[in-house]
Structure 1
Amino acid sequence: MKYLALFAALALASSAVADDDDTPSFGAAGLLSGSNKENLPPIILSAGEPISAEPWVLKSGTYYEFEIQGDGSQELALVGPEFFRAIWIDEIVVEGLEIRPLGLDSVEFDEAGEMEIGFIAIKPGAYYMKIPGTTGETQRVEITIQ
Structure 2
Amino acid sequence: MFSEILKVSLIAALCAGPAWADDDAAPLAGLLSGHNKEELPEVTLSVGEPLGGPWTLQSGRYYEVEITADGSGEIGLESDGFFRAIWVDEVVIRGLEVRPMGLASIEFDRAGTMEIGFIAIKPGRYDLHIPGSTGEDQRLEILIE
The 5-angstrom pairing of residues 34-113 of structure 1 reads 34-52=34-52, 54-113=53-112
Residues 75-133 of structure 1, C-alpha deviation per residue, up to 9 Å, x if partnerless? 00100141010000000000000000001010000000000000000000000000001
C-alpha distance in structure 2 between counterparts of 1:35 and 1:116, whole Å: 19
Identity of matched residues, %: 61
C-alpha distance in structure 1 between counterparts of 2:73 and 2:99, whole Å: 27
Which residue is 1:28 aligned to? Answer: 28
> Cα distance 1:133–1:14, how it changes in 2: closer, same or farther (>3 A)?
same
> Cα distance 1:33–1:110, how it changes in 2: closer, same or farther (>3 A)?
same
Please give the secondary structure, in 2, of the residue aligned with 1:78. Answer: strand
C-alpha distance in structure 2 between counterparts of 1:29 and 1:94, whole Å: 26
> Cα distance 1:47–1:13, how it changes in 2: closer, same or farther (>3 A)?
closer
How far off its partner does 1:30 sit?
Answer: 1.3
How far off its partner does 1:28 sit?
Answer: 1.4
C-alpha distance in structure 2 between counterparts of 1:97 and 1:81, whole Å: 27
Contact 2:130/2:138 (CA < 8 Å) preserved in 1?
Answer: yes
Contact 2:80/2:126 (CA < 8 Å) preserved in 1?
Answer: no
Unaligned runs of 5+ in 1: 1-7, 20-26
Over the aligned positions, Cα root-mean-square deviation in angstroms equals 2.1
Unaligned runs of 5+ in 2: 1-7, 20-26
Contact 1:76/1:109 (CA < 8 Å) preserved in 2?
Answer: yes
> Cα distance 1:40–1:133, how it changes in 2: closer, same or farther (>3 A)?
same
C-alpha distance in structure 1 between counterparts of 2:9 and 2:70, whole Å: 64
The number of residue pairs the alignment matches comes to 131
The 5-angstrom pairing of residues 8-27 of structure 1 reads 11-14=11-14
How far off its partner does 1:32 sit?
Answer: 0.4
C-alpha distance in structure 2 between counterparts of 1:136 and 1:89, whole Å: 27
Taking structure 1 as the reference length, the TM-score comes to 0.83
State yes or no: 1:115 paired with 2:101: no
Q: Which runs of 4+ in 1 moved over 3 A?
A: 8-11, 13-16
